[in-house]
Amino acid sequence: MKRKLRIFLLLSPLWIWSGSMAGRAVQPIPRHVDYDHAKAELGKRLFFDPKLSRDGTVACATCHHADSGADTRPVSIGIRGQKGSVNAPTVFNSVFNFRQMWSGRARDLKDQVGMPLHNPVEMGMDRRRIADYLQHDSLYGPRFRQLYGRPANFDDMSDAIAQFETALITPDSPFDLYLRGEGSLSPAALKGWRLFKRLGCITCHNGINLGGNSFQKMGLINSYDWRRNNPDRYSLTRQESDKNVYKVPTLRNVALTAPYFHDGSAKTLRDALVKMAYHNLGFDLSEEEIRDLEAFLKSLTGKHPSILRDEKQE
């Protein structure tokens, strides 16, 4: 199948994304979102607290680093040095995702909090242990009573962490400023943006997060390896058609979040572009196209979340 025909077939169900309409499908990250600042600061402390894991070695921030919101390892390492099976996606701008986790099994940020905490490989805790720790801690005990009006419990802890994660937005990237008419892209980035639309990347990567708002198949044209422990939709539905179907990852700050994909198999941005073009578009990119697309993707790096700027905790 010729390249132009493949692009047409990919875009034909969503032709509205092409041309000038594509600009409307993508919005800049808002400069402000609503959240409870006091609860977010409490959630920030919890996010960096390894005592929320069974052996006291793993915090949320262990797999969601303060510089990128993601993990630099192909798969995360949990308590007792156990190796996970999935690459941790960035938590930055996750408030704009329509679901959380690769499979979309979490409805929202609060729902997502308990999943790694309960996972025996990741943090290995339960609700009772967590509530007991928080209630007897000299800082958490009084703070939860002050903010929530009752003794610390698992649900309120989840809410505080979700408030913190809501604040992890990265506005004012060069691309955001371009969309607002407040700045310009480099010639290479502008070529990359036009190519991004023309090739059909925008069919899946659109909206505020340039992703995070639909489920799509990895290996649409050329099949991608499937493993039984994949965190795909099949892991929830057991429908054959959901194998290798994932929540589309955000491209925001993608230059900072290597390695890529659910399995961490793409070590660099270039590797990710080459793989995606082959598996989901069905052709090879030229070196010039790769350079231009890389330039565009690098323009998606925004400001570091303000809630983390004053005090980076490791």
**Catalytic residue positions, numbered:** 122
Nearest CA-CA partner of 56 in 78, 23, 35, 36: 78
CA 202/CA 179 separation, integer angstroms: 15
CA 299/CA 228 separation, integer angstroms: 36
Nearest CA-CA partner of 256 in 272, 277, 274: 272
Indicate the burial class of 148 (C-beta count within 10 angstroms; 0-12, 13-18, 19 or more): middle
What residues form DSSP beta bridges with 77?
83
Structure tokens at 154: 């698992």
Nearest CA-CA partner of 66 in 51, 78, 48: 48
3-state helix, strand, coil split of the chain in percent (to 5) is: 45, 5, 50
DSSP H or E run through 142: helix 140-148
Give φ, ψ of 162 to 5 degrees: -65, -35
Q: For tokens 């999935």, name the residue.
A: 86
Grouping H, G, I as helix, E, B as strand and the rest as coil, residue 84 is coil
Nearest CA-CA partner of 292 in 308, 277, 282, 278: 277
Grouping H, G, I as helix, E, B as strand and the rest as coil, residue 160 is helix
What residues form DSSP beta bridges with 115?
none
